[in-house]
């Protein structure tokens, strides 16, 4: 299931944001809202993709985010790193 950036900005609280890094240079973003995971979608309804993590961060700056992590997917497995301040 997907959620647009505008829908996300109207959400009271985002429990978790996961920035998925694929092939070390492509990023996809999923969010957990009300215990359900959603991929953020672009204007055509497809998964929002970017080669620029800062661009994705700016799209999420107005969302009320509790936790953010970076998940790196590779042949050796999946590794998570916290992006949350403090």
Q: What are the tens digits of pLDDT across the range 9-39?
A: 888 899 999 999 887 789 999 999 999 999 9
SS3 assignment, position 28? strand
- Name the percent of the chain in helix, strand, coil, to the closest 5: 15, 50, 35
CA dist., res. 48 & res. 29, Å (int): 7
pTM of the entire structure?
Answer: 0.79
pLDDT in tens, 28-85: 999 999 999 999 999 899 999 999 988 888 888 888 889 998 888 766 666 666 765 4
């Amino acid at each position: 299931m997907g959620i647009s950036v505008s829908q996300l900005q109207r959400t009271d609280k985002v429990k978790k944001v996961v920035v998925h890094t694929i092939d070390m240079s492509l990023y996809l973003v999923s969010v957990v809202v009300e215990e359900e995971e959603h991929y953020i979608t672009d204007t055509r309804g497809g998964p929002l993709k970017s080669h620029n993590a800062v661009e994705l961060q700016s799209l999420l700056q107005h969302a009320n985010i509790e936790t953010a992590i970076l998940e790196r997917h590779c042949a050796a497995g999946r590794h998570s790193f916290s992006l949350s301040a403090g």
